[in-house]
Structure formats: structure tokens, C-alpha cells
């Protein structure tokens, strides 16, 4: 669709798709413009299910967009899916997810909020937690725990089995005769009901969340509310340049990672994904992509992203330390993140050590990397995967490098 008005850059940058409200003549840009002219604060919903403990750069795209709405006067409605997390979002899954306990979910939620900057000044956090009129933190157990059987039947009556099977993940599993538990059909309905409970005007989500956001819009219409707009943002490609950023693929950059680890990983991303990282992870003018060579673009992007999460001073230190390590100047390097040997049983073979420290997906991958010359200790390549370290003293204080993405100092 084409808007008569142009969407402001702070909204349009990085948007993959947005879908309009049926039954209204207003375009998306006109709704934003109207809200601004009438000083009306839009309610922007973003739901997160704390099924893990780490937020990575792929997740940060949504939070950055939510912050942009905050900075332009709107209300971020951050929904912690403490109830729905116990069911688990079936999106992208080829089997029924293991359900989490209430205690696990609560602990995960705390770590999520910490990583988003709760408790920090707004200029040092991803979301603005200081401006109380621009943020609501809601837990969906607040309303979902109160649903009785009649309410659940009403929710289920608002959708059909064919609708649910139109969802790509369900459809694939159904056609492959992979079991789909009935409670999984409830997930999109319960997440959609969140939109009703908080009366959202706009919901943010990744491109894989279109079905769930549309269900929320349908439920708002069912409950006689004005249906929300959906804004879909891209799924970030991981450091391998191929698969989506995911902890299970070992291709992530976590928000809680130290500045050196973050910079060193980003400095070596493949050329093909540099433009995407610039667009989705920075606010820099994209014209820069036309003028600089790929190596300089890598360094510029890595410095900018690291600055966003650690500040300019720490990012510059990380850049300097990476260069010193590359040149073999170990003695000139400042603080390096440590990796503990506490749980390792010695003597231990080198390939197994790296695997046990979860630096590789498997022992075989660890062996391949060592044999290929991709692993150094104190700037010296170690190419024998079966090299045996007899005790912690053999490694304590030494610097481990895996490519240019992982730099750690061994400690007891």
C-alpha cells in the first residue's frame, strides 16, 4: 500500500512489513501524524516470552524500535509472557516445546529486564525505564490466570482449526504427521488476548510473528476494540552470514557480553550481511555503505554497535585490544574477559577442553577448528587437538583466541 504521507524515518527504518487496520480509510502514516498533531500517545505492544536467559542482537532490533516510539512520546507496553512462556511459542518449532516451570520463567524475566537496562539511566539503557509515562511493564499472568473455562471456550470459538493449520509451522508438522498438542493452538490465542487486555494500538514483532499479531487484531475486533496495526521487523542473520541469529546455532552476540567479545565477533561478520547490520543495529547514514571498503565497514559497524551497548570509551578500548592481539602484543592488552576452568577435570585434551567450555557445538567441530589453525594460545597457533594439559597451571593467565570472534583469558 502507498501512504499519502511519508512515514518518519524513526519508524520506517528497518521495517519489513506493516499491515493496516481493515475498515478504516486512514493509512499508517496518517495514524502516526494524527497522533502527533493531537498529542495522543499510542500504545505500542511488544511481548517477550522469557524462555531463556540471554537477549542477543537479533532481539535488540525490536527493543530499539520500541525505544524509538518512546523517544517520540508514545507508550511502550512491554508484556512479559510469564504465563505464555510456560506453554512455549510453537513458531519455528518442529516439535512440541518442553514446558517451563513458573520459577524458571520468573528468574528468566529478571535477567531480561536487567539486560534491557532496568535500573540504569535512560541514556545508558535500551529502553527508557525512567520516563514512567512512557513505559508499562505487564505480566500476562495478570489476566490470563483469571480466565475461566467459559472465557477460554469463547477464545477458542473465535478461531477455526483451518485457521490454525494455515500457520506455516503447524501446517508443516501436520503434513509430516508430527504431533501437535492441543495446548499449542492456545498459544496464539492467549498471546492475541494480551492485545485485548492492554488495548494496544500497534504491536511489534519479527516477521515470524505475523500470524500471532494478526490473531491479536482479530480478537480485538471480536471484543469490540479498535484493532491494532502490526509492524514486522526482519529476523537478523547470525555471525555465520547464513542462518538466523540463534543461541543454538552458536552465531549470536549477547547484549550482556563484554565489549571485547562483542567487538571481536562483529569485526569479522561476512561482507554480505554488513549492510543489514548497519541498517538494523545502528542509526548511521546508510550512504556510508557506498564509500568505504568492506574491511573498514566491518570495523566501523563493530565500533558503532559496541558503543551503543558499552559506550564509546569501552568500544574504542576493545578495538585497540583486538588490534594488539592481532599483532601479537599480548603484554599491552588491557582487561580481557575471563573463562573459568573450575569445572574442568584435568588432565584434559585440548579439543575436549574447548567443547566442555561450550565454545563449540561439539568435540568434532572443536577438532576441525584446531586442525585448521583457527585457535591460538598467547598468539601461538595450536594445531594438535590431542594436546594434553595436565593441570590448570598449564593454562592460567593465558589468552585463548578462536578466530577473531572469541578472546578469553583462562582463570581458575
Omega before residue 347 within 30° of 0, cis:
yes
Cβ(32)–Cβ(203) below 8 Å: no
High-pLDDT (> 90) share of the chain, %: 57
The angle formed by the CA atoms of residues 326, 248 and 257, to the nearest 5 degrees, is 45
Cβ(82)–Cβ(106) below 8 Å: yes
> Whose CA is closest to 125, among 78, 80, 79?
78
Instruction: Return the pLDDT at 330.
Output: 56
Across the chain, what does the average pLDDT equal?
Answer: 88
54 pLDDT exceeds 50?
Answer: yes
Q: Binning pLDDT at 50, 70 and 90, where does residue 126 land?
A: very high
94 pLDDT exceeds 70?
Answer: no
Correct CATH for 9-233 of 3.10.28.10, 3.90.1490.10, 3.40.30.10, 3.40.50.620: 3.40.50.620
Rounded to the nearest angstrom, the gap between the alpha carbon of residue 142 and the centroid of all alpha carbons in its chain is: 25
Q: 75-80 and 135-139: which strand pairing? A: parallel
Cα separations (Å) of 388 from 36, 266, 349, 363?
Answer: 66, 32, 4, 15
* pLDDT one-digit tens code per residue, 314-350: 999 889 888 777 655 555 566 678 889 988 999 999 9
Correct CATH for 338-411 of 3.10.290.10, 3.60.15.10, 3.30.930.10, 2.60.34.10: 3.10.290.10
Q: Binning pLDDT at 50, 70 and 90, where does residue 23 land?
A: low
382 pLDDT exceeds 50?
Answer: yes
162 pLDDT exceeds 60?
Answer: yes
Interatomic CA distance for residues 214 and 196, integer angstroms = 12
Interatomic CA distance for residues 86 and 227, integer angstroms = 27
Domain 257-332 has what CATH class?
A: mainly alpha
Instruction: Return the pLDDT at 374.
Output: 84
Of 90-94, 232-236, 303-307, the range with the lowest mean pLDDT is: 90-94
- Cβ atoms within 10 Å of 372's Cβ, excluding its own: 11
Instruction: Return the pLDDT at 321.
Output: 84
Q: Binning pLDDT at 50, 70 and 90, where does residue 377 land?
A: confident
Burial 349-358 (b: 16+ CB within 10 A, else e): bbbbbbbbbe
pTM of the prediction?
Answer: 0.80
410 pLDDT exceeds 80?
Answer: yes
Instruction: Return the pLDDT at 26.
Output: 75
Is 104 exposed, middle or buried, given 0-12, 13-18 or 19+ CB atoms closer than 10 A? Answer: middle
Instruction: Return the pLDDT at 2.
Output: 44
* pLDDT one-digit tens code per residue, 283-319: 999 998 987 788 899 999 999 999 999 999 999 988 9
Is 84 exposed, middle or buried, given 0-12, 13-18 or 19+ CB atoms closer than 10 A? Answer: buried
Any residues with CB less than 8 A from the CB of 364 and at least 6 apart, and which? none
Instruction: Return the pLDDT at 49.
Output: 87
Interatomic CA distance for residues 243 and 235, integer angstroms = 10
* pLDDT one-digit tens code per residue, 27-37: 888 889 999 99
Of 45-59, 205-219, 366-380, the range with the lowest mean pLDDT is: 366-380
High-pLDDT (> 70) share of the chain, %: 92
Instruction: Return the pLDDT at 200.
Output: 97
More confident residue, 244 or 332: 244
Interatomic CA distance for residues 254 and 26, integer angstroms = 39
Instruction: Return the pLDDT at 239.
Output: 93
Cβ(76)–Cβ(66) below 8 Å: yes
End-to-end, the C-alpha distance of the chain in Å comes to: 60
Instruction: Return the pLDDT at 331.
Output: 54
Interatomic CA distance for residues 64 and 96, integer angstroms = 31
Instruction: Return the pLDDT at 360.
Output: 87
Instruction: Return the pLDDT at 77.
Output: 98
Instruction: Return the pLDDT at 258.
Output: 87
Cα separations (Å) of 157 from 160, 163, 185, 213, 396?
Answer: 7, 12, 12, 18, 62
Going from N- to C-terminal start, the domains of the chain cover 9-233, 257-332, 338-411
DSSP calls for 172-231: HHHHTT----HHHHHHHHHHHHHHHHHT-SEEEEEGGGHHHHHHHHHHHHHTTPPPPEEE
Is 247 annotated among the ligand-binding residues? yes
Amino acid at each position: 500500500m502507498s501512504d499519502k504521507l511519508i512515514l518518519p524515518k524513526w519508524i520506517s527504518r528497518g521495517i519489513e512489513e506493516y499491515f493496516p487496520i481493515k475498515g478504516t480509510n486512514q493509512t499508517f502514516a496518517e495514524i502516526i501524524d494524527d497522533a502527533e498533531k493531537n498529542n495522543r500517545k499510542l500504545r505500542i505492544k511488544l511481548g517477550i516470552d522469557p524462555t531463556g536467559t540471554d537477549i542477543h542482537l537479533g532481539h535488540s532490533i525490536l527493543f530499539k524500535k520500541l525505544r524509538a516510539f518512546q523517544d517520540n512520546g508514545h507508550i511502550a507496553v512491554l508484556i512479559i509472557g510469564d504465563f505464555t512462556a510456560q506453554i512455549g511459542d510453537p513458531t519455528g518449532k518442529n516439535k512440541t516445546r518442553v514446558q517451563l516451570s513458573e520459577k524458571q520463567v520468573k528468574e528468566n524475566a529478571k535477567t531480561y529486564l536487567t539486560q534491557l537496562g532496568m535500573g540504569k539511566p535512560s541514556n545508558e539503557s535500551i529502553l527508557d525505564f525512567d520516563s514512567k509515562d512512557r513505559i508499562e511493564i505487564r505480566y500476562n499472568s495478570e489476566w490470563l490466570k483469571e480466565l475461566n473455562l467459559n472465557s477460554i471456550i469463547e477464545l477458542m470459538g473465535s478461531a477455526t482449526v483451518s485457521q490454525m493449520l494455515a500457520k506455516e509451522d503447524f501446517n508443516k508438522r501436520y503434513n509430516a504427521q508430527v504431533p501437535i498438542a492441543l495446548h499449542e493452538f492456545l498459544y496464539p490465542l492467549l498471546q492475541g488476548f494480551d492485545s485485548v487486555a492492554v488495548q494496544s494500538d500497534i504491536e511489534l514483532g519479527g516477521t515470524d510473528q505475523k500470524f500471532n499479531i494478526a490473531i491479536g487484531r482479530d480478537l480485538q475486533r471480536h471484543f469490540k476494540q479498535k484493532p491494532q496495526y502490526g509492524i514486522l521487523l526482519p529476523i537478523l542473520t547470525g555471525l555465520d552470514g547464513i542462518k538466523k541469529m540463534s543461541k543454538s546455532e552458536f552465531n549470536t552476540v549477547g547484549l550482556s557480553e563484554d565489549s571485547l567479545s562483542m567487538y571481536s565477533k562483529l569485526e569479522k561478520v561476512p561482507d554480505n550481511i554488513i549492510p543489514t547490520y548497519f541498517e538494523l543495529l545502528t542509526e548511521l547514514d546508510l550512504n556510508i555503505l557506498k564509500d568505504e571498503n568492506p574491511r573498514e565497514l566491518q570495523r566501523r559497524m563493530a565500533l558503532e554497535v559496541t558503543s551503543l551497548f558499552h559506550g564509546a570509551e569501552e568500544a574504542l578500548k576493545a578495538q585497540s585490544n583486538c588490534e594488539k592481539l592481532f599483532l601479537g602484543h599480548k603484554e599491552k592488552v588491557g582487561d580481557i574477559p575471563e573463562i573459568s576452568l573450575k569445572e574442568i577435570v584435568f588432565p584434559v585434551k585440548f579439543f575436549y577442553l574447548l567443547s566442555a567450555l561450550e565454545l563449540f557445538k561439539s568435540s568434532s567441530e572443536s577438532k576441525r577448528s584446531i586442525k585448521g589453525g583457527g585457535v591460538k594460545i598467547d598468539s601461538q597457533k595450536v594445531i594438535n587437538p590431542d594436546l594434553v594439559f595436565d593441570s590448570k597451571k598449564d593454562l592460567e593467565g593465558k589468552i585463548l583466541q578462536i578466530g577473531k570472534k572469541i578472546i578469553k583469558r583462562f582463570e581458575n
